[in-house]
Amino acid sequence: MTVINEKINLHSKGYTDIINITEEVAEIVAKHKVENAQVLVYVPGSTASITTIEYEPGLLKDLPEAFDKFAPMSHSYHHDETWHDGNGYAHVRASMIGNSESFPVINKELYLGTWQQIVLIDFDNKPRTRSVIVQIVY
């Protein structure tokens, strides 16, 4: 078994910033010319997530509105009582979505649905520099 590790560094605005990283992940896969593999896309930290969406203007509004319903920023969180950092909502949102996804590589191509893009969502309450780990296993 071979394992390849790469990193994507990016800057986010925080506050449920949704960043399309599909192209960067696909470029890493293409660079290594693997025939068939699994690709893990992972963001370290407890206030950001990796998921997939159709990256289009309507969903870029719908998704943050949905997060505001189940973990509103204005709610009082016990985390904030402990740390006084105001980002309890970010921890709740990120833990509900998760910080990684796996994708197949088939015949040297990252295999995604027609309208499916890989996104990083940064929920924190400030801009951040994030590193996304892309691990290819074959």
Q: Cα(115)–Cα(109) distance, rounded to whole angstroms?
A: 16
CA 96 distance to own-chain centroid: 12
Domain assignments of the chain as residue spans, ordered by start: 3-137
Name residues whose C-beta falls within 8 Å of residue 21's C-beta, 6 or more positions apart in sequence. Answer: 8, 10, 41, 118, 119, 120, 132
CA 4 distance to own-chain centroid: 19
Cβ(105)–Cβ(36) below 8 Å = yes
Q: What is the mean pLDDT of residues 33-39?
A: 97
- Hey, what CATH topology would domain 3-137 get? Jelly Rolls (2.60.120)
Cβ(2)–Cβ(135) below 8 Å = no
At residue 12, what is the residue type? S
- H or E, element range at 92: helix 88-97
Q: What is the pLDDT of residues 73-106, one digit of tens each?
A: 999 999 999 999 999 999 999 999 999 999 999 9
Q: What is the mean pLDDT of residues 7-22?
A: 98
pLDDT of residue 135: 98
Q: What is the pLDDT of residues 46-74, one digit of tens each?
A: 999 999 999 999 999 999 999 999 999 99
Average pLDDT score, the chain: 97
Query: pTM for the complete prediction?
Result: 0.96
Tokens representing 62 are 């719908």
Share of the chain above pLDDT 90, in %: 100
